[in-house]
Structure 1
């Protein structure tokens, strides 16, 4: 897969993740335009509000996790990274426990953490708890994903080991995670343990 193909799949992933909430916003606005019943209008407004907030959280997250995130050599505030991760993953069937340390990380380390958190979420198809811990000092992290039916998909495991895959819009994100880990020499590992998945780097 060359860089142009990789970029195309990554853009497709972004579009895929935004279509759902933005489509719900459009549908809710159509209801508001046509509906006269107060209760129905109130429900539609709730849908518009929550879907718009979801779309914004995804955009803010992906702008950093998938995007350029500043100039070469830029550092990112770990507190802001924590806000973006928590904003994306919390709510619904997932909850996040993380108190980011007061630090600024090189952008590729921050992007690696964000992408690893996304992989942890994908290990919890029925929801659950994601715990993220970061040490003081040098960048590194441990992420655990705990919940009913926790698992690591075969494609994710292969991608994180650098094995060549036939990519698609969804599968490109673990490939990005592997490339980020290799770029910062993070020694990224993912392991299925008794009732939880653990992702470690650093």
Structure 2
């Protein structure tokens, strides 16, 4: 039986692949200009920071939205590198505790849920990620959370989910990914904490 390809995931992979190379070239070019002494100052620093931020986001999006081949795995150093680069200079901290290599599709789901937590933590905070015996848990702590109840209810019961805006597409991608992995999600929220278990 032939499985239909996930065209949206393949498209995301292609876009991320095609964008990461020119961003890298910009960063390398800026570094060469600095070595030659032809560019200095806050303008160059701003360009460098923007390139690093864009590259980090694209690497993250490639995992969260891109295709994951059957049996493909991701190493812990790569995961930590992506998360460290993505949160550099921000008020968000992510403590990724799972050890060793992990199936890429499991990391994909974790990254989608990290985006959901990030959406609820616009003022920063701390997220802890654990995985023991195949059971994942994520806890987001922040002095102030912005929880859009309908979006979070839709993660547990997709029939309650509103049509997503572009900035909320990660919420819409979580339920089908949970189904594909044979998992169900439990969400617990308080004024300062969100806990996800699946």
Which TM-score bucket, shorter chain as reference? Answer: 0.7 to 0.9
Find the partner of 2:95 among 75, 94, 97.
97
Written as runs of structure 1 = structure 2, the 5 A alignment for 1:185-200 is 185-193=182-190, 195-200=192-197
Please, what TM-score do these two structures have when normalized by structure 2? 0.73
**Structure 2 residue corresponding to 1:87, chosen from 61, 85, 88:** 85
Q: CA shift at 1:183, angstroms? A: 1.1
- Residue of 130, 134, 137 corresponding to 2:131: 134
Q: How does 1:15-164 map to 2 (within 5 A)?
A: 41-69=40-68, 71-105=69-103, 107-135=104-132, 137-138=133-134, 140-160=135-155, 161-163=157-159, 164=161
Q: C-alpha deviations, 1:55-95, integer Å up to 9, x for none?
A: 000111111110013x2332333442333233323432111
- C-alpha displacement of 1:104: 2.5
Distance in 2 (alpha carbons) for counterparts of 1:112 and 1:7: 15
8 A Cα contact 2:164 2:171, kept in partner: no
* Root mean square deviation of aligned Cα: 2.9
The higher relative CO (CA closer than 8 Å, separation ≥ 6) is in 1
Is the contact made by 1:77 and 1:104 (CA closer than 8 Å) also made in structure 2?
yes
Aligned position for 1:3:
none
Shift of 1:127: 1.0
Where 1:122 maps in the other structure, the secondary structure is helix
Once the two structures are superposed, residues 142-172 of structure 1 have per-residue CA deviations (whole angstroms, 9 ceiling, x without a partner) of 1111112124212421331212422321122
DSSP-derived class of the 2:195 partner: strand
Gaps of 5+ in 2: 1-6, 34-38
Indicate how the Cα distance of structure 1 residues 199 and 184 shifts in structure 2: closer, same or farther if over 3 A, else same.
same
**Hey, what's the Cα distance between the residues in 1 that align with 2:168 and 2:150?**
7
Segments of 5+ residues of structure 1 without an aligned counterpart are 1-5, 33-37
| Cα distance between partner residues in 1 of 2:153 and 2:84 | 27
Q: Report the counterpart of residue 35 of structure 1 in structure 2.
A: none
